[in-house]
Amino acid sequence: IVMVCNTIHVFLDKIQAVTGAHNILPLPVIVKNALSGSKNDVLCVLGTGLTVSRGLYDFPDFKYVTLDQKQQENLCDIVVDYNSGGNEGERLKKNKDGLLSIVENCRAQGATTFLLACTEISELLGREPIKRLDTLELLIDEAVEKIVDSIKRSRLVT
């Protein structure tokens, strides 16, 4: 089971307990594994309030630059606006510029790698030249790997 939204992974344990589904790809584990070679990086998690406040991507071996309250509110406003039609034209440009402003501020505070912890943020930043780990891309890669492995195993059985 692939849950694309980052925030829903805050509730992974509850979802598994209620549904009995233990075949859900665990995004925090996937992200931690992807970060294993980045111990010297200073991370900045760009995600919605619940993802950040619940510490979904707080790993003890890493240093972080965190958004201040105003930046976090601005980031959440950008995501909400993006989802309510701000994904084209002037509103898209405004949202992207606002997000890039947050990124630059965090860079100035020492952030070297940005964890894109929201699908809308991944879309907004697109191909901007920042060092990033995109949780959406990591999840897709993991899902494809699981599917390919499953196909290989099924061929061995038949």
77-99 pLDDT per residue, tens: 999 999 999 889 999 999 999 99
Q: How far apart are CA 3 and CA 26, in angstroms?
A: 9
> Which is nearest to 4 in space by CA: 120, 157, 104, 114?
120
In the predicted structure, residue 50 carries a pLDDT above the cut 70:
yes
105-142 pLDDT per residue, tens: 999 999 999 999 999 999 999 888 999 999 999 999 99
CB-based contact 152:132 (threshold 8 Å): no
Compute CA 45 distance to the chain's CA centroid, rounded to the nearest angstrom: 8
